[in-house]
Structure 1
């Protein structure tokens, strides 16, 4: 049997939910109709079996060109209520957006529209046992993390120096926040891998002078990792030890390693990240959505400049390992490789003064 056209897919979806006694189902129909009708306009109401990846990517690009209908005074700007405007043809919407220089739809707005469209196709997949949902998984929608699409933000050497030496920045951060920033700099770990750590995550891996931080999952504490390779023990760099990190991190097993930044929701970690962004901008550092992640990409750059083996870098940073030598990248080898990756600290004594104010 030939697969239905997209308009028939929508008709089935609308018939199913519009007759529901649940008011949320009826609201779902009203919310999804506009996005799916745009999808039908974009693809030319093709048959479901003819959908392909280019349809999904083209639809994503078409959504990006549409204006944000949630901005204040939208009716005064366009002469249309938001609901009526969304029911116009794609071409007409883009034409008005261009004439009036309207604000473009945000990345979350594009992503949500794609999700709603994919949800209709997913429903049809389940009901009719088809395999035609090319919007699932969804195409990526870039955000404002960098000025160039697809470019990963990373601090350059001068920005890193500013973060580690500016009296304004160092004096505005708590001791816990300072240690967290330094751990991010010397491990390249993700912020949400570091902030939920406990005293028991400070490990002696293989005798004296072989300390590491254990990155793992523990969902009841809000600890999650990106993939299996992210579960790892990261060697503690000698520079961190010389600053006194082992003394700072000497805590009871279930006590937070960074008390100011620990909670199960990650809200405190998010607040720290925003604070770091604001302080950096005051000192001329480029704004970014995820300032703590800039350390991770900076560390990747340092490892590449040092021309270290790929499997050692992957093991250190928790990347899915691509090297055939991955099985040989043990803790000692990783710790040894990391010794000369980082340049000398720009002002060690200043950092010590802020890290140990009581002394």
Structure 2
């Protein structure tokens, strides 16, 4: 009787172990990586199962966490439209690496480019592809829906879609983007093996032997992951550990990017010199420099457009200080009525209208 009872307990444990998407094996290859390094996870799941490897930033973000005045208003408005709340929290950086990405969404066409004033939403003169997450949480495969680590509710799924598929969500929350040329298309969440040929799967390897359940996954971490960012790792919804991403270069806390500061200083000096000599297009040049060269994104919770503005405002402060004496006192060729009117417009734009217009455009 005792032997029968023992065998019964063992069989029950085996069945539970198998049904829950069990994991066993080597785990994460290191406890710490530099930003941009390749992360590798190996192990074994139950034979016949699909692999769902969720890698999620440990520190969650909810709209209530931002202190940006405009961001608070915009996120409150978008939350009502997109089906999440002001308290809904998600990992800003979240990846689902799997051999069955089709269970979470599908690849579709994405149009972009062209004058925004003439093009409606979803229109453009160029076309590429992107991975669209399923519109509803319940549309996700029933098994896959339970394998997403910290993403467990309809509101979180809606917020995840918003953060990774809308330009405002990417520029305010995620700060990572997949691009065609210099144009942001979306931010990847569901990733498959790079044999798919999809540009968002590049650098990712998913090897799964379904007969034995053994797997090896490797992917390149985000090059601009903030220093000391912790990630939790889940295999088929079982947390197997975590790792830390450390600094890899000079970190720009406002730009939220790694870059050699020498290039930034030289670029800013050149833009300032041009603006002082010509007196035109300085703000546009500085914005272009930050967007195309530095790729300024700003801290999580602050929209990138509202980080660009302070640098551009500095042009209108330091350039006049440098040239005022020469033009006004020595050469006496300052048109005061025009100059003062121009100054009044600067105050209106910077204090009142500027933050709204720059965020929208």
Question: Shorter-chain TM-score: which interval?
Answer: under 0.3
Which structure has more relative contact order (CA 8 Å, sep 6+)? It is 2
TM-score, length-scaled by structure 2: 0.24
Structure having the higher strand fraction is 2
Structure having the higher helix fraction is 1
